[in-house]
Amino acid sequence: VVPHQGEAGIRADSDWNVPEPELAVLSNSRAEVVAYACGNDLSSRSIEGENALYLPQAKVYDRSCSIGPVAVLAWSCDPSRAAVSMRIERGGAEVFAGSARISDMVRRPAELVRVLHASYPLPEGAWLLTGTSIVPPPPYTCEASDVVTIEIDGVGRLVNRLVRVPHSGATA
């Protein structure tokens, strides 16, 4: 996980990578929502598309997630009616822009947190990313030096430059 202004990663062994703007929800050990932030859940769609069992490899790798710029305490904001937007720039030019409303999510953040904690002990709590409906369509794929800006009303603006993550060359 990288912070605001950190370098988020794209897999070198995938030819279709996309950022996904999401509401990041911080829960405590009792499955209570305590804070919100902006999240970027980078995904390697070509790996994910090969086989549903490859989802962990497509989603979990070095620098695959960014959260920030701050954690906004849950009792000081209500993102349920907020808009989420994402803008991607390449060489200073906008190559994608999209937005959605958190209220359009099928499940509320607190519901997702309860499911996460239901069968998984989290003594320190956890960050959960809620999913997204904003995904750049093909032919867009991330390139090193793209700048991804994710903004959620009342929560903040997360900005990351993308870099290619080194790969060992291993294949399955």
pLDDT top residue among 149 and 50: 149
CB proximity list for 64: less than 8 A, separation 6 or greater:
8, 9, 41, 42, 43, 165
For residue 172, pLDDT beyond 80: no
pLDDT confidence tier of residue 132, bands split at 50, 70 and 90: confident
SS3 state at 49: helix
Q: Structure pTM?
A: 0.94
Average pLDDT of the chain to the nearest whole number: 94
Percentage of the chain beyond pLDDT 90 is 81
